[in-house]
Amino acid sequence: MHLAINVLQSVMVKRDTRIDIYIENSNEFAKPILTYLRKLVHHGCPDVIETIKWGFPNFEYKGRMCYMAAFKGHCSFGFWKAPLIKNLDSNKKIVEGGMGNIGKIKSMEDLPDTNLFLFYIHEAARLNDENIKLPRQKKTITKDQPMESADFLRSLEKNELAKSNYEDFTLAQKRDYIEWVCEAKTKKTKVSRISTAIKWISEGKSHNWKYMAK
């Protein structure tokens, strides 16, 4: 990474103390990663506002911009409008696996080049500046969603809060819930999982919320 950490130390403003607590409660390997990511976001977008949503740190600038999270063995970082950010998918550091767009971050070495990361942050801020929105997703079951998910989706339609929260989830977060429901081996288990999923989604929680910051 070309930009030294100490260059970023003067940009920390508009702190949310809940994120301080989140980082402090994370595993030791995650603390420097989350601290650096936080500073990098502020450096790339000085007017960003910190908050906690769905149990993990979010950064807002004229709307949702990006987020980060800590799990047992890795950290994740993602942009809410990732499909619209130029060259994001072409970066060799962007890999499959884990929530977010950077793959599973287990050490500082797993992060993209700092200048490139700043470019992504600038692009994310520009998209919000220009009020460019993601295309609305169709609410029908697609080929990528097994038919077994129909009961789950119908239950979502009956709960306005859960439905609204679910629509704001990333594609990966939605897939986690659908796969969890579809993996149930009995009807009783499936019904139980749907009920639990609706409850968690109503509370703004992703399927993996229990494993964050542990």
**Tens digits of per-residue pLDDT, 79-133?**
988 888 876 654 434 434 345 677 789 999 988 889 989 999 999 999 999 999 8
Give ∠ CA 170-24-2 in degrees, rounded to 5: 70
Per-residue pLDDT at 143: 46
The tokens for 175 are 């897939």
3.40.50, 1.20.1050, 1.20.120, 3.90.1150: CATH of 5-129 = 3.90.1150
- Ordered by start, the domain boundaries in the chain are 5-129, 147-206
* 37: number of Cβ within 10 Å: 24
What's the full length of the chain, in residues? 214
The answer to whether the CB of 103 falls within 8 A of the CB of 72 is no
Claim: this prediction has a pTM higher than 0.85: no
How far apart are the C-alpha atoms of 147 and 174, rounded to whole Å? Answer: 15
Phi and psi (nearest 5°) for 199?
Answer: -65, -50
Read off the amino acid at residue 39: K
pLDDT in tens, 31-65: 999 999 999 999 999 999 999 987 889 999 999 99
* 109: number of Cβ within 10 Å: 8
Per-residue pLDDT at 13: 58
